[in-house]
Structure 1
Amino acid sequence: MTEPATQLYLISPLDVGGDFPDRLERVLAAGPVAAFQFRVKGLDQHEAARLAAPLQEICAARDCAFIVNDSIALARRLEADGIHLGQGDGSPAEAREALGRTAQIGVTCHASRHLAMEAGEAGADYVAFGSFFPSETKESEHRPEPELLAWWQGLFEIPCVAIGGITPANCAPLVAAGADFLAVSHAVWGSGNEAEAVREFHRAIGQASAP
């Protein structure tokens, strides 16, 4: 079996303490997840690193890339697989210098073709567009159409990530438009059955990818 063209990119909830490592273990066991983004706010680097350590081990055992949100310094401290940068979090060039040539560097580009092209020219390994739908995780005034993904795929080889309010029920147009990754958070962690949510995403991606 070949992997579907669109893969899952899982973003953590803000609370990753308590039993969260067990939850992550169950979710990654439910089906392939290409990347896990460690996204916490308001913690000092020492505490963030403490919480990240078991999650990083779980991801490594499942061949899931461990990506740090926002903080180049934390990504360097953890020797993470990569970093995801918002527009105010530093440049891909800074991240590359700090993290090395093998790090995966992603950049939030909202609904902007210009920002995405700039990110690609600056050395980003992927660009993220969104929010495609209203999000429970993060408010955004940007609302791109799936055609943006198709435009990007027609011109560039750098992978693109679709983000924002994506669920198994609404992801089909994004898959059809060529999203390399679906970034999901609340649809998994807030679903009430996290492992089943991952399986539902894989079923939906498979159906949308079928010829």
Structure 2
Amino acid sequence: MTETSSPDRCRIVLIPPAGTPAERIVAAFAGGDIASLILPQDSRDEDSFQAYAEKIVPAAQAAGIAVVIAGDSRIAGRVKADGLHVEDGKAELADAIDRLQDRMMVGAGGAKTRDDALELGEQRPDYIFFGRFGFDNKPEPHPRNLSLGRWWAEMIEIPCIVMAGSDVASVEAVAATGAEFVALSAAVFAEGAEPATVIAKANALLDETAPRLGD
């Protein structure tokens, strides 16, 4: 995640929902601090996903946002992304870390239990993500994700990202767990929403309410 002028509290990780136009993603960057952007491949084929990412990665990196590609390490390399997000389990995560750790960050998702999380954590990923892409369809964060995030933040040094809900105010509940990062998706890109305005509101809420990390 980016370090320059980083707030000493929970920061935003942006995860665009399936079908989000590249222009809407780039527009969100004007809203203020975003630590990183995770780009899922969704249903796109390899060529179309690469072309999509190429529209976004340079603009994100110019704004100081680290870009993580979910799924395909070849595309991550071709678009010069900063990291790879792996959802396929312990063996695939270990392989990705072994191959890529000198070139880019490697993060882990897919943990539904503490045991799942600890198994993934044994591989020492750069972060662990609690949540599922596209499942932030309620205003509040999923209670399981909050519980896992709180436990992990208290026990483990590896940073964690916890999925927020579809209401931007839900960033407060995530920050209260002690998680280093809060993932926003549907809240930013809802129909009629201005992505930059939502990001600015989320940052204001975090500035006001998030505990200072390390205190």
One-letter amino acid of the structure 2 residue matched with residue 83 of structure 1: L
| DSSP-derived class of the 2:168 partner | coil
- Look up the match of 1:153: 153
2:164–2:171 Cα contact (<8 Å) kept = no
- Look up the match of 1:118: 119
Distance in 2 of aligned mates of 1:123 and 1:93: 9
- Look up the match of 1:3: 7
1:164–1:183 Cα contact (<8 Å) kept = yes
Q: Quote how far apart the aligned CAs of 1:203 are.
A: 1.5
- Look up the match of 2:51: 50
- What is the RMSD of the two structures over their aligned residues, measured on CA atoms? 2.6
One-letter amino acid of the structure 2 residue matched with residue 80 of structure 1: A
Q: Which whole-Å deviations, capped at 9, do the CAs of 1:128-174 have from their partners, x for residues lacking one?
A: 1136xx6239xxxx751534322212221100110152532222222
Distance in 1 of aligned mates of 2:49 and 2:173: 36
1:75–1:99 Cα contact (<8 Å) kept = no
Distance in 1 of aligned mates of 2:30 and 2:118: 35
Alignment of 1:100-119 (within 5 A): 100-119=101-120
Q: Quote how far apart the aligned CAs of 1:90 are.
A: 5.9
TM-score scaled by length of structure 1 = 0.84
1:8–1:32 Cα contact (<8 Å) kept = yes
Distance in 1 of aligned mates of 2:209 and 2:92: 34
Distance in 1 of aligned mates of 2:11 and 2:173: 14
- Look up the match of 2:195: 194
Ranked by relative contact order (alpha carbons within 8 Å, sequence separation 6 or more), the top structure is 2
Distance in 2 of aligned mates of 1:47 and 1:89: 28
| DSSP-derived class of the 1:144 partner | helix
Q: Quote how far apart the aligned CAs of 1:177 are.
A: 1.1
- Look up the match of 2:78: 77
Structure 1 unaligned spans of 5+: none
Q: Quote how far apart the aligned CAs of 1:60 are.
A: 1.2
Identical counterparts, % of pairs: 25
The 1:83–1:89 alpha-carbon spacing in structure 2 relative to 1, beyond 3 Å, is: farther
The 1:2–1:32 alpha-carbon spacing in structure 2 relative to 1, beyond 3 Å, is: closer
Q: Quote how far apart the aligned CAs of 1:16 are.
A: 4.5
The 1:35–1:145 alpha-carbon spacing in structure 2 relative to 1, beyond 3 Å, is: closer
Q: Quote how far apart the aligned CAs of 1:59 are.
A: 0.9
Distance in 1 of aligned mates of 2:49 and 2:143: 31
- Look up the match of 1:170: 170
Deviating above 4 A after TM superposition, structure 1's stretches of 4 or more consecutive aligned residues are none
Distance in 2 of aligned mates of 1:151 and 1:111: 13
Distance in 1 of aligned mates of 2:19 and 2:148: 32
One-letter amino acid of the structure 2 residue matched with residue 66 of structure 1: V
2:37–2:65 Cα contact (<8 Å) kept = yes
The 1:147–1:63 alpha-carbon spacing in structure 2 relative to 1, beyond 3 Å, is: same
Distance in 2 of aligned mates of 1:119 and 1:167: 29
